[in-house]
């Protein structure tokens, strides 16, 4: 595969980032991962808003403009002959002097990768949904970094290791107060009666681009929506539980820890609406 690195398109195996890069040394970086359908990045504007907000928070300048990234993504897809893809845009602060101070790090590293996209969950066969377990690792309390996709994802890595160890698909991470927050690589939502419920901002969860789009879709359907701070035990009595991320879109949860979860017909409706608006048109969203 070809990748984009600081203005050049190079073979993935030949791409090099200096060992002095602060993204490598300190996780001083942020990224966005998005799905491409029919050659068009899905929900580009929403991803771009979160990405540029993160650059501003980290005070990283000189990484290019949105138009530059969009053109680079388009050319990368062409060079890799991909129309259904997973694209990741990563910006690090670049290299600087040794230590935490970013002084002297004035040339950011920009990397864009593209790989074939997996089939959406509904195309993967007859599995009713994923197995979600509860992780022992918690999401930090709300802070400025909570709202951006920074490269410090070790808690998510550890949580996902827990899921892998028991053959589960994902791991639910709680907030500092023990409330439902997010999964290691996904956001979470559920139905209580006819109401769509998502974790509120007090949990410290990353505001998900796809989860926000799901909420918009539900409101267009006239469904009641609200946020809540609930203990994980509450999920054992919901009428439908699901995960969202920008790659798999919306995935039902069939089992939460040792408890089967009913499949709400509203989840199937949302899946169909996402397919119609995001995957069937000229790129959607």
Structure confidence at residue 283 (pLDDT): 43
Q: Specify whether 171 is located in the same domain as 267.
A: yes
Helix axes 209-220, 265-274, angle to 10 degrees: 110
Burial class (CB in 10 A: 0-12, 13-18, 19+), 84: middle
SS3 for 207? coil
Residue 166 lies in a domain: yes
Q: What is the pLDDT of residue 127?
A: 80
Q: Is the pTM of this model over 0.85?
A: yes
pLDDT at 206: 94
Which is nearest to 250 in space by CA: 195, 198, 179, 192? 198
Give me the percent of the chain exceeding a pLDDT of 90: 93
Claim to verify: residue 88 and residue 172 sit in the same structural domain:
no
pLDDT tens column, 108-119: 999 999 999 998
122/129 Cα distance (integer angstroms): 9
* Model pLDDT for residues 137-153, shown as the tens digit of each residue: 999 999 999 999 999 99
The predicted pLDDT at position 266 comes to 96
Using an 8 Å Cβ cutoff, are 108 and 63 in contact?
yes
> Which of 96, 117, 138 finishes a domain?
117
Q: What is the largest CA-CA distance in the chain?
A: 56
Taking 50 as the pLDDT cut, the residues of the chain under it are 282-285
DSSP letter (8 states) at residue 118: P
Calpha distance 276→281 (Å, rounded) = 7
The predicted pLDDT at position 123 comes to 65
Contact 90, 31 (CB under 8 A): yes
109 and 174 in a single domain? The answer is no
Looking at residue 121, what is its pLDDT? 74
Q: Give the end-to-end CA distance of the chain in Å, rounded to a whole number.
A: 27
Distance of alpha carbon 95 from alpha carbon 85, whole angstroms: 30
**Token pair in block for residue 247:** 């790659």
- Residue 35: name the closest of 82, 78, 1 by CA: 82
**Full residue range of the structural domain in which residue 222 is found:** 123-279
Q: Are residues 231 and 193 in the same domain?
A: yes
Residue 131 is encoded by which pair of tokens? 């197995």
3-state secondary structure (DSSP) of residue 155? helix
Q: Which residues of 238-249 are buried (b: 16+ CB within 10 A; e: fewer)?
A: bbbbbbbbbebb
Do residues 83 and 163 share a domain? no
DSSP secondary structure letters along 236-279: GG-SEEEEEETTTEEEEEEEETTEE----HHHHHHHHHHIIIII
Record the tokens describing residue 159, joined without a space: 């949580």
Select from 100, 117, 134 the last residue of a domain.
Answer: 117
Would you state the structure tokens that stand for residue 149, as one six-digit string?
């996709």
- If asked whether residues 151 and 241 sit together in one domain, one would say yes
The CA-based angle 177-183-189, given to 5 degrees, is 85
Sign of CA dihedral 178, 140, 255, 285: positive
Give yes or no: residues 27 and 152 share one domain: no
pLDDT at 274: 94
The domain boundary, picked from 85, 117, 149, lies at: 117
* CATH code: domain of residue 38: 3.30.470.10
Question: Is residue 77 within 8 Å of residue 92, measured between CB atoms?
Answer: no
């Amino acid at each position: 595969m070809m990748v984009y690195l600081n203005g050049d398109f190079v073979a993935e195996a030949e791409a090099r980032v200096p060992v002095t890069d602060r993204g490598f040394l300190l996780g001083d970086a942020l990224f966005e991962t998005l799905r491409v359908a029919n050659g068009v990045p899905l929900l580009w504007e929403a991803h771009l808003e979160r990405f540029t907000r993160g650059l501003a928070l980290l005070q990283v300048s000189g990484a290019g403009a949105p138009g530059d990234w969009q053109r680079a993504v388009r050319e990368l897809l062409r060079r890799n002959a991909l129309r259904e893809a997973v694209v990741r845009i990563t910006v690090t602060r670049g290299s600087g002097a040794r230590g935490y101070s970013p002084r002297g790090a004035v040339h950011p590293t920009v990397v864009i990768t593209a790989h074939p996209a997996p089939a959406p969950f509904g195309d993967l066969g007859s599995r009713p949904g994923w197995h979600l377990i509860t992780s022992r690792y918690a999401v930090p309390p709300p802070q400025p970094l909570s709202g951006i996709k920074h490269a410090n994802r070790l808690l998510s890595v550890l949580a996902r290791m827990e899921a892998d160890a028991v053959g589960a698909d994902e791991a639910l991470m709680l907030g500092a107060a023990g409330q439902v927050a997010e999964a290691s690589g996904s956001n979470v939502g559920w139905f209580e009666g006819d109401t769509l419920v998502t974790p509120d901002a007090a949990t410290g969860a990353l505001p998900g681009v796809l989860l926000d789009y799901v909420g918009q879709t539900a409101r267009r359907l006239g469904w009641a929506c609200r946020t809540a701070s609930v203990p994980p035990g509450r999920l054992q009595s919901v009428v439908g539980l699901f995960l969202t991320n920008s790659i798999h879109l919306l995935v039902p949860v069939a089992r939460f820890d040792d408890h089967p979860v009913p499949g709400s017909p509203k989840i199937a409706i949302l899946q169909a609406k996402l397919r119609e608006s995001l995957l069937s048109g000229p790129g959607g969203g």
